[in-house]
Amino acid sequence: MNRSGAESDKRTAVEVTKDKNGIGRVLLRNPRGASARAIFKPPKAVRGGIPICFPQFGSRGLLEQHGFARNKIWVIDENPPPLHPNDSNGKAYIDLLLKPSEENMKVWPHSFEFRLRVSLAEDGYLTMISRIRNINCKPFSFSFAYRTYISISDISEVRVEGLETFDYFDNLCDKERFTEQGDALTFESEVDRVYLSSSDVIAVLDHERKRTFTIRREGLPDVGVWNPWEKMSKSIADFGMRNTRGCFVLMEQQWRNQ
């Protein structure tokens, strides 16, 4: 995923402080991709960034909403495999590992290793690659998604290109199936949709800030789009008042029950 355009706000976005007990605290002075009231305390999922949904997406199963991976502490692989020689120029990367805990095994009794590689190029291009390995070869099925929060100026100034002519399930209409008719998706009210087998390249255009986020995907056929608009934003405690009408759009890249 990459971003182009100018950023007008030059304030420091993040400040790390300590409370009266000496415990570290993160202050989002100018949140980008995260809510101003995001809760940084497990098991609460952080309202921002790119949460990982695994082994379940949404409520389609017996586990907690979006599975347990997004609420766990991942381990840094101190000796990760190197980048491919053709893909290593100017890139910094880190590998994060997640393995099942005793608690996880009680609710989802499958052995796995989830490796998430996050790399950042000099031009600002962010790449995320997930590899899920079956440890004991006992078959299991799962759902997986990146829930990408994209910080925007005002949702009414945003359009999403690359979804035209594709079918989608509308979660606000009892998952009824429709076909996208417009040349771009714009927002005039709450949106909660899952586009099926959509384009590999999607662009989120923020006209007010004059910037574009481009999302390129491989092996993730479905795309969820969500913005809560005014009424629902006010009912969610970890949004903050600045998010009334939604200062983000959520783009979910999904892989379903394979």
Cβ neighbors of 106 (< 8 A, separation 6 or more) are: none
In the chain, the DSSP E strands lie at: 2-5, 14-18, 24-28, 52-53, 75-76, 91-98, 112-121, 126-134, 144-151, 158-161, 167-170, 176-179, 185-186, 191-195, 201-206, 211-216, 222-227, 248-255
Residue 211 burial (10 A CB sphere; 0-12, 13-18, 19+): middle
Annotation-wise, does 253 bind a ligand?
A: no
Tell me the one-letter amino acid at 192.
D
Give CA–CA dist 158/181, Å, rounded. Answer: 17
Query: What are the Cα distances from residue 96, in Å, to 63, 75, 78?
Result: 23, 5, 9
Annotation-wise, does 181 bind a ligand?
A: no
Annotation-wise, does 47 bind a ligand?
A: yes
Instruction: Could you list the residues known to form a binding site, using ranges.
Output: 47, 65, 70
Instruction: Could you list the residues known to form a binding site for substrate, using ranges.
Output: 47, 65, 70
